[in-house]
Amino acid sequence: MATTAQRIEDLTLFHLPVETAAFAEAPDPWLAKAREQHPWLATSTIGPVLTSYRAIDEIMRMDDALAMPGAEIAEIMGAKGTGWGDFAEEMLLVRHGADHQRLRSSVSGAFGPNNVKRMRPVMRETIAALLDEWAPRGTFDFTKFAANFPVRIMFALIGGDIAKLPAIISSLEVQGTSFNMVVEDTPRIEAAYQVLWRFVDDLIAERGPEGGHGDLLDDLIAANTGGNITDKELRQMLVFLFGAGYDTSKNLLTLLMDSMIAHPAIWKRCGQDFDYCRKVVREQLRLTSPSNTYRVTTRDVTWQDVTIPAGTMLLFPLGISGRDPELFARPLEFDPDRTDRTAPLAFGRGMHICLGQFLAQANVEEATHLIAQRITNPRHAGPPSWRSFCGVWGIKSLPIAFDPAPARAHQPA
């Protein structure tokens, strides 16, 4: 006889204080209590939170039942009718079906594995140049160092003038907090969005309709002139790509450095063995990654005898999904050689899986290998501070001290 599913509103669930600084810094004690009360669900001020790897993995694949809550977030933030509010409601992540495929196809080739492989020499040259500038200092805030790397790669991918980089980094930083749903931040988010809009508008004007560089910007302009994307979508797509390319890699690299301070032997090996770096990055993606995301159910969803009604805002904590003790032995231990090799959920699932996942992983793999050669014996020079857990999570400030080392004569190809 079939079991009747329970409605989620009839369950007694543990409340996770996801909006607090204490939760952002150390979520595990609360998660353990939540799992004692229910194996895969908890509550929060935002809505139900999925605390199980399997629940996140399987429910996120239900593309017909989920939507990115762009309009809902714009409403909560009081941003309706603003530039950023339009962006929240219209960007790639909130599109569906043929409309989503139309936009995604305009940029997907540039972020595929083959093109990312061709970008690896640029990544190595970029991080080596940054290390020549920063490594002799012996101490700095690692987040500020890391902020310079991935956005330079995006400039190379799009063909932007690197001289304009300093003017947009601060705006990209603000933009990265835009989906953390801190209402008081709305004015500064809108101001940052306008800076980025003007930047990409100038970029398009300077390039002109003829292109000629053979890069991603040329592809997007061609899609625009060919009628595949509108003028507004072209600019929104560039803002989206700069923001996504900046945040994911920068925060992942900073999280990895924080992990490595506690594992000096692993860090030393990263400087010696590039293939080992790949395993280290994968393990970081499992343990702690930058992105937590939302979805709204567009119909009733039933999973493991619990029904979630249509119109429910769900929080998918991708950044800690790999800490599920049901799937991973010793889930809080950093072990690049672990045998339980279940794929991390850091980049999501379903049709909205992160477009730049291959670029982000390659960025951090190449950076880790070279940074470990030049920044040796890293240690905390002050306590790290954390960003809000909801939305783009990560470390806001990571002061480190280290022993500088000179560049090696022959960098690996």
How far apart CA 89 and CA 68 sit, in angstroms, is 9
Structural domain range at position 103: 79-289+324-404
The neighbouring-strand residues paired with 110 are none
Q: Which residue is listed with tokens 């309706």?
A: 80
Handedness of CA 284, 288, 292, 298 (dihedral sign): positive
How far lies 142's CA from each of 253, 261, 267, in Å?
9, 12, 15
What's the pLDDT at 119?
86
With respect to residue 147, please indicate whether it lies within any of the assigned structural domains.
yes
With respect to residue 235, please indicate whether it lies within any of the assigned structural domains.
yes
Comparing C-alpha atoms, which of 59, 107, 169, 128 is closest to residue 358?
107
Comparing C-alpha atoms, which of 229, 232, 250, 230 is closest to residue 107?
229
With respect to residue 28, please indicate whether it lies within any of the assigned structural domains.
no
CATH code: domain of residue 130:
1.10.630.10
The answer to whether 87 touches 236, Cβ cutoff 8 Å, is: yes
Task: Please tell me the number of Cα atoms within 13 Å of 52 on its side-chain side.
Answer: 15
With respect to residue 152, please indicate whether it lies within any of the assigned structural domains.
yes
| Measured distance between the N- and C-terminal CA atoms of the chain, rounded to whole angstroms | 62
Comparing C-alpha atoms, which of 354, 359, 361 is closest to residue 104?
354
Handedness of CA 122, 123, 129, 132 (dihedral sign): negative
What's the pLDDT at 175?
79
With respect to residue 4, please indicate whether it lies within any of the assigned structural domains.
no
> The pTM is what?
0.90
What's the pLDDT at 410?
53
What's the pLDDT at 1?
43
Task: Provide the domain count of the chain.
Answer: 1
- In order, the DSSP letters of 44-102 are -SSS-EE--HHHHHHHHT-GGGEE--HHHHHHHTT-TTSHHHHHHHHSGGG--HHHHHH
Q: Which residue is listed with tokens 């190449």?
A: 366
> 339: part of which helix (H) or strand (E)?
none
How far apart CA 166 and CA 2 sit, in angstroms, is 61
Q: What is the pLDDT along the chain (413 residues), one digit of tens a residue?
A: 456 789 999 999 999 999 999 999 999 999 999 999 999 999 999 999 999 999 999 999 999 999 988 888 889 899 999 999 999 999 888 888 888 899 888 888 778 888 888 889 989 999 999 999 999 999 999 999 998 888 888 877 777 677 777 778 888 878 777 777 788 889 999 999 999 999 889 989 988 887 777 778 888 888 889 888 999 999 998 888 887 777 788 899 999 999 999 999 999 999 999 999 999 999 999 999 988 999 999 999 999 999 999 999 999 999 999 999 999 999 999 999 999 878 899 989 988 888 888 888 999 999 999 999 999 999 999 999 999 998 889 999 999 999 999 988 654 44
With respect to residue 227, please indicate whether it lies within any of the assigned structural domains.
yes
With respect to residue 18, please indicate whether it lies within any of the assigned structural domains.
no
With respect to residue 383, please indicate whether it lies within any of the assigned structural domains.
yes
